Structure 1
Amino acid sequence: MSTDPATHELLHDILKQVSRSFYLTLNVLPAGVRDQMGLSYLFARAADTIADTDLIDRGQRLKYLNQFRAQFQTHKIDWKAIQEIQAVLIPHQKDSAESILLQRLEDCLKLYETYSAGDRERIQWLMEVLPNGMEMDLTRFPGESAGQLTALSTLDELDQYTYYVAGCVGEFWTRMVCAHSPEMARWDVTKMSTMGVRFGKGLQLTNIVKDIARDLHNGRCYVPEPLLQEAGLRPADLLDEDNLPKFRPVLNRLIQLAMAHLDEGWRYTLAIPRSEIRQRLACMWPILLAGETLKRVLVAPDLLNPAVNVKAPRGTVYRVMAITILTCANEYVATAYWNRLKGILSEP
């Protein structure tokens, strides 16, 4: 990859404009992969922005999503196609950060062209797989409101979805760090990629259960119908907050599935050499915070209220960061914390 300071500064300028919080989190990563991860985040978010621009119809969104994805399937960027995406979508952005990202999409792709062949190949792989989840949202869920609510059909379909939108990121992360860190080069990439996939799936399942009410009101039920049927429920029943007690056995099953994936992610984290403190922190934080979030989801009395945002409070975030940083990502201290969360969330 290019080590041109101007290239580095351009990327970080875009990141700060698009997501200050992600930019600050990015700084914990090892320098050797920081820029690649940052640029990949921008590409993933751009694809998500295209898919979520609900002021244009689904057919157009799908067209432009595939048009964007096509840029990673060739050795030459189609600049006219990118300019078309910008011209159509920028006027419809409600969020200034999304608008800025689309405006600077050409800059991002020019930076991508400066990367090594290996890094481009890894990003190409990610951008071939990740948009499948966005395409699934556009095609599997035809409506955009509670009146057009649609549910996934099977647990396998849910598993496939979580792979597309997050599991593949764990695989991508593993491939990238193994390529750039001499310590990580000793890893069995295939084995650790499989563990990384489960890590990502656990994080996505956490997002699904905590955001369930808002997704339902946007026409999307990620809880497979057979699970609901076992509890005597239909997808539309989850729009009634009074059905939360009846839904709790299904919710608990999804939490257990998320925790099983996250526990595999914890084993992944502890396999990172102790000398790689930054990488350990970058893995410990999302797992511990996912556990803290699931702890709150488990007992939330208003989980089916779309106005309520169930998440770990800022004080908890700071505590997790302080404990892990001050102990230099010590596995005994952090694992004791994780085991306490597992005990709380263990199946009754």
Structure 2
Amino acid sequence: MVVPGESFCRAQLPRVSRTFALNIPLLPAPLDLAVTVAYLLCRIADTLEDEAPGALQGGLLEELAGLVALEPGWEARTRSFSRRACLALRSGAPVAEAELVAGTPTVLETLASLPPWVHPHIARCVRTMTGGMNHIQQVNGGGGGVRGLPDLQALSLYCYYVAGVVGEMLTGLFVASSPWVVPREARLVPRAVAFGRALQLTNILKDVREDLDRGSCWLPRDRMAAHGLEPATLVLPGHRAQAVALMDELVAVARGELDVALEYSLALPTEEPGLRLFCLYPLFFAVLTLNAVEGNPAVFDPAPVKIGRDAVRSLMLLTQERVSSDAALRALHAECSRVPHGMEALT
């Protein structure tokens, strides 16, 4: 039976995330819909952070966290929130993300229809994420347009707020939904944050030029300074060698997080192949993405650096074939890590 709002949520997912549109359908029901809704709510928060300059001052992020708690009267408050959030978006905000913000009442309606064990994990995630976004903006002057974070520790904290907490949420949902996962909880919990942080740091490195064009930079200022750089000089041709050296240093940090993310994925039971594939797809995509970023000055060009579609399809098939073998997955991870950015698999 299709729950209220489910069709909207499932249709909206591929419009705002190609990666998660590939791996969420691998999860068993109702976990697949729960994670879809959770992702969309996090994406609404992310859109407000990136595309609504007044989201912090207007309290929109804090209000979103309150709505996700589904306290009495949330329906009417959500409609008001959605109208004000849409008005706060920049005129150039991506159409799909603007439509998602407008559809906040439908996403929350779908959340309310899910089993009760889903709600506290998603509510905590959104509350921590929006609180963290507010914190980062406040310590960097507020009003958006963060021009670098102070240091690697601050970058790690930011990655926790916007993605590490998602790893915690997923672990809670996995444990609550599957008796096979329960005995693995002690192995999963210590690695959950790194799983989320690894994916976020990879995205930050991949999207460095796009973020700069929007007026933001999430790289650590102390490491930029060590290479004679600041946000304003990152993309200048005369500083390309220093900028590439900086990125290579941060790629090494991301690879360390991905090593922990692999252990997180392998801690999931083989009796739940859908859960394993859900984690392994973005993990391996991230490995290839880092290969494309490392040593590649094109990451500072306007055209984005991407993984080729053929590489994505091949990697998905290889992961499916090896999903039940830890040894085979470790070997695949090692092989992917050696792929240079110049191979035809990448664009």
TM-score band w.r.t. shorter chain: 0.7 to 0.9
Q: Does 1:341 align with 2:339?
A: no
Supply the AA of the counterpart residue of 1:260: G
Give per-residue Cα distances to partners, 1:135-157, cap 9 Å, x unaligned. 35644365777xxx722112111
Supply the AA of the counterpart residue of 2:231: P
User: Aligned to 1:219, what secondary structure does the other structure show?
Assistant: coil
1:203 matched to which residue of 2? 199
1:176 matched to which residue of 2? 173
Are the equivalent residues in 1 in contact too, given 2:133–2:162 (CA < 8 A)? yes
Pairwise mapping of residues 26-37 of structure 1 onto structure 2 (< 5 A)?
26-37=24-35
Equivalent of 2:12 in 11, 17, 29: 17
Query: How many Å separate the matches in 1 of 2:55 and 2:163?
Result: 22
Supply the AA of the counterpart residue of 2:314: R
Q: Does 1:48 align with 2:37?
A: no
User: Aligned to 1:151, what secondary structure does the other structure show?
Assistant: strand
Q: TM-score, normalising length from structure 1?
A: 0.86
Query: How many Å separate the matches in 1 of 2:129 and 2:268?
Result: 25
Query: How many Å separate the matches in 2 of 1:285 and 1:74?
Result: 32
Number of matched pairs: 333
Supply the AA of the counterpart residue of 2:130: P
Q: TM-score, normalising length from structure 2?
A: 0.86
Give per-residue Cα distances to partners, 1:85-113, cap 9 Å, x unaligned. 22233365644423432333222222322
Shift of 1:253: 1.7
Q: 1:97 to 1:77 in 2, by over 3 A?
A: farther
Q: Once superposed, what is the RMSD of the aligned Cα atoms? A: 2.5
Equivalent of 1:160 in 152, 157, 167: 157
Query: How many Å separate the matches in 2 of 1:101 and 1:49?
Result: 9
2:234 matched to which residue of 1? 238
Query: How many Å separate the matches in 2 of 1:150 and 1:135?
Result: 15
Are the equivalent residues in 2 in contact too, given 1:12–1:23 (CA < 8 A)? no
Are the equivalent residues in 2 in contact too, given 1:141–1:219 (CA < 8 A)? no
1:299 matched to which residue of 2? 295
Query: How many Å separate the matches in 2 of 1:221 and 1:129?
Result: 22
User: Aligned to 1:132, what secondary structure does the other structure show?
Assistant: helix
Query: How many Å separate the matches in 1 of 2:80 and 2:264?
Result: 42
Supply the AA of the counterpart residue of 1:218: R
User: Aligned to 2:23, what secondary structure does the other structure show?
Assistant: helix
User: Aligned to 1:275, what secondary structure does the other structure show?
Assistant: coil
Shift of 1:183: 0.5
Are the equivalent residues in 1 in contact too, given 2:121–2:172 (CA < 8 A)? yes
User: Aligned to 2:329, what secondary structure does the other structure show?
Assistant: helix
- Percentage of matched positions with identical amino acids: 26
Query: How many Å separate the matches in 2 of 1:38 and 1:58?
Result: 23
Shift of 1:24: 4.5
1:98 matched to which residue of 2? 97
Query: How many Å separate the matches in 2 of 1:81 and 1:49?
Result: 19
Supply the AA of the counterpart residue of 1:35: L
Pairwise mapping of residues 142-161 of structure 1 onto structure 2 (< 5 A)?
150-161=147-158
Moved more, 84-93 or 281-290: 84-93
Q: 1:29 to 1:229 in 2, by over 3 A?
A: same
Query: How many Å separate the matches in 1 of 2:40 and 2:61?
Result: 14
User: Aligned to 2:117, what secondary structure does the other structure show?
Assistant: helix
Shift of 1:133: 4.3
Unaligned runs of 5+ in 2: 341-347
Unaligned runs of 5+ in 1: none
User: Aligned to 2:307, what secondary structure does the other structure show?
Assistant: coil
Q: 1:42 to 1:320 in 2, by over 3 A?
A: same
User: Aligned to 1:309, what secondary structure does the other structure show?
Assistant: coil
Give per-residue Cα distances to partners, 1:251-290, cap 9 Å, x unaligned. 2221111011100111111111222211111111111111
Shift of 1:78: 3.1
Q: Does 1:269 align with 2:268?
A: no
User: Aligned to 1:222, what secondary structure does the other structure show?
Assistant: strand
User: Aligned to 2:219, what secondary structure does the other structure show?
Assistant: coil
Runs of 4+ that moved beyond 6 A: none
Are the equivalent residues in 1 in contact too, given 2:54–2:143 (CA < 8 A)? no
Give per-residue Cα distances to partners, 1:170-215, cap 9 Å, x unaligned. 11111110111111011234x4222011011111111111111222
Query: How many Å separate the matches in 1 of 2:250 and 2:12?
Result: 36
